[in-house]
Amino acid sequence: MSGQKDGFQRWQVGDVRVTSIIEMETTVSCIPENGLIPSATPEGLRRHAWLYPHFVNQADELLFAIQALIVEAPGKTLVVDTCIGNDKNRAALGTMLATSFLQDIERAGFARDRIDAVICTHLHFDHIGWNTMLVEGRWVPTFPQARYLFGRLEYDHWTAHGDEHDRVHFADSVLPVVEAGLVDLVEMDHCICDEIRLVPTPGHTPGHVSVMIESRGQRAVITGDMAHHPCQMAEPDWYTPFDFDPEAAASTRRTTFEQWAREEMLVIGTHFAAPTVGRIRHEGQAFRLDPPVR
Ligand SMILES: [Zn+2]
């Protein structure tokens, strides 16, 4: 089901192949309190032994990845979420990135001008960065032949209600592709092709979507940020301060995890550290993620 011959994690879902291109891996300490999931204290995490060692290390630090997921369906190649990007002023990071992301995509076998579509699960800065790249002082579309699919509700929300940081993110990562005529504003249940469609998972942001893949009786879903970390399967009420509506986000997690557990879905976590994927199972009052056995 998965392979890592050339250093890239890949998963086969019927006729569809998904490849992870990692931009960054990071750990978040829980001591005294982590800023990303404040309820995830060492004591809270240790109640869920299955999180160790893949998703929480022995120092009780949460492991995260920032990655783009390339989805190859018959006749169509898509990128789901485009990470942070190079050369971008991001107050939240305090530093500009200069990673080898573009070379890594090529090395994984994907020429930028062969990408047919870009999907952003939502419009936070760590999901839109490589929509554009800096060329001779200008932000230009990284994937010049792609249609960029943004949720209409999501786009309208940030256009109307974004703060000064959001406006900076939009100016360098959203507006240049709009101005290049490459954007389609789509509904939250938009169907991209026979194998790939969007499903609404609102809460983290108003128009947040996940990406459903179905082919030859196999199913997988790319979460986006409806969950940032597998600990939110054990504790669906653990919110992040970046959730637009924390109660809606928790409610989405409960109902959606319930459904995905029933449907034997392969869950591909956008911010989940390797092994990144697993089947979701009931555990006590909530859920757990079982990574595939290698
Ligand atoms: Zn994110």
Ligand 1 centroid to residue 84 C-alpha, Å: 9
The pLDDT-based confidence of 189 (bands split at 50, 70, 90) is very high
Higher pLDDT, 35 or 141: 141
Ligand 1 centroid to residue 192 C-alpha, Å: 22
Ligand 1 centroid to residue 273 C-alpha, Å: 13
pLDDT score of 35: 79
Ligand 1 centroid to residue 128 C-alpha, Å: 10
Q: Is the pLDDT of residue 101 over 80?
A: yes
Mapping DSSP onto H, E and C, the string for 2-60 reads EECCCCCCEEEECCEEEEEEEEEEEEECCCCCCCCCCCCCHHHHHCCHHHCCCCECCCC
Instruction: List alpha helices for the chain, DSSP H.
Output: 42-46, 101-107, 152-161, 164-173, 175-179, 231-234, 246-262
**Mean of the per-residue pLDDT values of the chain:** 95
Domain that holds residue 93: 2-290
pLDDT in tens, 227-262: 999 999 999 999 999 999 999 999 999 999 999 999
Ligand 1 centroid to residue 80 C-alpha, Å: 12
pLDDT in tens, 47-56: 999 999 999 9
Calculate the dihedral angle through the C-alpha atoms of 1, 131, 197, 123, rounding to the nearest 10 degrees: 110
Angle separating helix axes 152-161 and 164-173, nearest 10 degrees: 130
Q: Is the pLDDT of residue 2 over 60?
A: no
Ligand 1 centroid to residue 97 C-alpha, Å: 16
The pLDDT-based confidence of 5 (bands split at 50, 70, 90) is low
CA distances to 5, 15, 78, 101, 266 from 114, in Å: 22, 19, 9, 16, 27
134 CB neighbour count, 10 Å cutoff: 13
Cβ partners under 8 Å of residue 50, min gap 6: 234, 283, 288, 289, 290
Ligand 1 centroid to residue 63 C-alpha, Å: 13
Ligand 1 centroid to residue 157 C-alpha, Å: 17
Ligand 1 centroid to residue 208 C-alpha, Å: 11
Ligand 1 centroid to residue 65 C-alpha, Å: 9
Ligand 1 centroid to residue 35 C-alpha, Å: 14
Ligand 1 centroid to residue 123 C-alpha, Å: 9
| Residues 176-186, mean pLDDT to the nearest whole number | 98
Ligand 1 centroid to residue 127 C-alpha, Å: 6
Q: What is the CATH number of the domain that holds 268?
A: 3.60.15.10
95 CB neighbour count, 10 Å cutoff: 7
pLDDT score of 1: 47
> Contact 121/80 with Cβ under 8 angstroms?
yes
Number of independent structural domains in the chain:
1
Ligand 1 centroid to residue 37 C-alpha, Å: 13
Q: Is the pLDDT of residue 28 over 90?
A: no
Type of residue numbered 55:
F
pLDDT score of 145: 98
Ligand 1 centroid to residue 1 C-alpha, Å: 26
pLDDT in tens, 35-89: 789 999 999 999 999 999 999 999 999 999 999 999 999 999 999 999 999 999 9
pTM: 0.96
Q: Is 137 exposed, middle or buried (0-12, 13-18, 19+ CB in 10 A)?
A: exposed
How many angstroms separate the CA atoms of 277 and 146, rounded? 27
Sign of CA dihedral 160, 161, 167, 169: negative
Ligand 1 centroid to residue 160 C-alpha, Å: 21
pLDDT score of 3: 54
